[in-house]
């Protein structure tokens, strides 16, 4: 059975690149361009992992993660934040979110899928 990933990013180039990298690695991929759509998609599709940007147009990725953690259907889905916010305050924002991780941008296209796979139980 294919692993399922949800990518939440408002940048179309990032969305396409991450989608392509995960599909080549055998993932079934779902896409959302804002946090609200991502939350709805996560509840509907229940992916194995969520790849989320921190800066989204409608709310912070960290806030979306907190909403997902409060819902019993999405509380256990690993969330991997992919962001250019590698400064201390960016990491501070997401460090207390359970079952989550961090990949800095620009991503390493050679091992991106392998990195995402590490978060799936």
101 has which bridge partners?
A: 80
Q: Is the pLDDT of residue 76 over 60?
A: yes
Calculate mean pLDDT across residues 59-78: 95
Report the 10 Å Cβ neighbour count for 72.
6
The CA distance from 101 to 79, in Å, is 6
Q: How many CA atoms lie within 13 A of 67 on its CB side?
A: 15
Query: Helix, strand or coil for residue 80?
Result: strand
pLDDT of residue 96: 74
φ, ψ of residue 26 to 5 degrees: the values are 95, 10
pLDDT tens digits, 88-104:
455 666 777 888 888 98
pLDDT of residue 87: 55
Calculate mean pLDDT across residues 10-18: 95
Buried b (16+ CB within 10 A) or exposed e, 17-54: bbbebbeeeebebbbbbbbbbbbebbeeeebbbbbbbb
Domain edges within the chain = 4-118
Buried b (16+ CB within 10 A) or exposed e, 84-109: ebeeeebeebbeebeebbbbeeebee
Q: Give the percent of the chain with pLDDT over 70.
A: 92
**Residue with the larger pLDDT of the pair 113 and 104:** 113
The structure's pTM equals 0.93
Q: Which CATH superfamily is domain 4-118 in?
A: Response regulator (3.40.50.2300)
Q: Which two tokens stand for residue 87?
A: 């400064």
Helical (H) or strand (E) element with 16: helix 12-24
């Amino acid at each position: 059975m294919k692993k399922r990933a949800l990518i939440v990013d408002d940048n179309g180039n990032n969305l396409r690149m991450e989608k392509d990298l995960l599909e080549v690695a055998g993932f079934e991929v779902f896409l959302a361009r804002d946090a609200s759509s991502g939350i709805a998609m996560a509840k509907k599709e229940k992916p194995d992992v969520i790849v989320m940007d921190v800066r989204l147009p409608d709310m912070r990725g960290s806030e979306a993660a907190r909403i997902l953690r409060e819902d019993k259907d999405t509380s256990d889905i690993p969330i991997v934040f992919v962001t250019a916010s590698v400064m201390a305050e960016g990491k501070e924002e997401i460090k207390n979110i359970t079952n989550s991780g961090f990949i800095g941008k620009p991503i390493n296209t050679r091992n991106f899928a392998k990195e995402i796979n590490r978060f799936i139980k």
